């Protein structure tokens, strides 16, 4: 392997977690905002239509790895219920902002994250690459949790137009870090977009399983399907780097 010069990180369930209550609170904010323009809207019927729309758009996004956005889900749900609201409607944009306004207070750092990043900052170029549809919300969360100053580059799929595992986003990461892909480690929790995606793009993946090991997720995804370093806390990563067992 080329000399390791940079480390990229996923965000959600890798550096930070968010409490399950966040989704319910976000939906409360969304419904409250939508009722300003659509007073007769019913939460149960909207939630059902919104869920169906989200699943459809997400499935499509996973086929070509072009990022979707919540404004399309909301617009489709409203139209399914008989309301006139295009994805570019300012009322939809405001509703999206209000939906995500609930998230920052429910997010927290995985234990030891700040200390780990501080320990690595002087020795490696550090980058963040996150799949997140609404980039302003992701950037607010990163700022609120005090992570900005650690990273030389921060990339959000909602701004890039593509999402992991598309090689374009990993290419943008290494370009922003000013290194070659073979000199870059990528740490993430999701086997397909993070681990397989990084591997296919020529980076060296490390599988972070803290959330899985702590039982903080109901997901039952299979592992990457190939040998890859696995860590469950940041001490594991520091030991891995110290021993150069990548």
Tell me the pLDDT tens digit for each residue of 31-63: 999 999 999 999 999 999 999 999 999 999 999
pLDDT of residue 217: 73
5-33 pLDDT, tens digit each: 999 999 999 999 999 899 999 999 999 99
Domain borders along the chain are 6-18+108-243, 21-104
Distance CA 240, CA 246 (A): 7
Q: Which residue has the tokens 């002087």?
A: 122
pLDDT over 80 at 111, yes or no: yes
b/e 171-185 (16+ beta carbons within 10 angstroms → b)? ebbbebbebebebbb
Per-residue confidence (pLDDT) for residue 224, from 0 to 100: 83
Q: Would the pLDDT of 1 be above 70?
A: no
Whether omega for the bond prior to residue 165 falls within 30 degrees of 0, making it cis, is: yes
pTM attached to this predicted model: 0.94
| Residue 13 structure tokens | 């369930």
For the cut 90, the answer to whether the pLDDT of residue 120 exceeds it is yes
6-18+108-243 in CATH: which number? Answer: 3.40.50.1000
User: What is the mean pLDDT of the segment spanning 91-112?
Assistant: 96
Q: What is the total residue count of the chain?
A: 246
Q: Is the dihedral of CA 180, 186, 191, 193 positive or negative?
A: negative
> What does the pLDDT average to over 81-95?
95
Residue pair 85/79 in contact by the 8 Å Cβ criterion:
yes
75 pLDDT band, cuts 50/70/90, is very high
How high is the mean pLDDT of the chain? 94
Dihedral sign from CA coordinates of 244, 123, 147, 66:
negative
Dihedral angle computed from the Cα positions of residues 82, 84, 87 and 89, in that order, rounded to the nearest 10 degrees: -150
Helices and strands, number each (H, E), in the chain: 11, 8
pLDDT value at 245 more than 60: no
Mean pLDDT of 198-224: 87
Q: How confident is the model at residue 219 (pLDDT cuts 50, 70, 90)?
A: low
* CA separation for the pair 72, 50 (Å, rounded): 10
């Amino acid at each position: 392997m080329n000399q390791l010069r940079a480390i990229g990180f996923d965000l959600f369930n890798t550096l930070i977690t968010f409490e399950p209550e966040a989704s319910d609170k976000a939906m409360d904010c969304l419904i409250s905002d939508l009722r300003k323009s659509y007073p007769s809207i019913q939460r149960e019927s909207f939630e059902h239509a919104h869920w169906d729309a989200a699943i459809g758009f997400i499935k499509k996004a996973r086929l070509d790895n072009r990022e979707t956005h919540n404004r399309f889900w909301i617009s489709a749900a409203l139209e399914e219920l008989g309301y006139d609201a295009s994805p570019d409607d300012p009322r939809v944009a405001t509703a999206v902002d209000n939906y995500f306004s609930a998230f920052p207070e429910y997010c927290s750092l995985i234990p030891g994250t700040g200390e780990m990043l501080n320990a690595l900052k002087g020795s490696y170029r550090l980058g963040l690459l996150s799949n997140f549809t609404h980039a302003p919300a992701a950037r607010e969360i990163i700022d609120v949790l005090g992570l900005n100053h650690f990273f030389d580059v921060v990339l959000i799929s909602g701004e890039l137009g593509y999402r992991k595992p598309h090689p374009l986003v990993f290419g943008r990461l290494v370009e922003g870090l000013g290194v070659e892909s073979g000199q870059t480690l990528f740490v993430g929790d999701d086997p397909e977009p993070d681990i397989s995606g990084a591997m296919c793009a020529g980076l060296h993946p490390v599988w972070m399983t803290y959330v899985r090991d702590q039982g903080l997720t109901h997901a039952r995804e299979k592992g990457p399907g190939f040998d890859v370093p696995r860590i469950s806390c940041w001490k594991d990563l520091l030991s891995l780097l110290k021993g150069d067992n990548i």
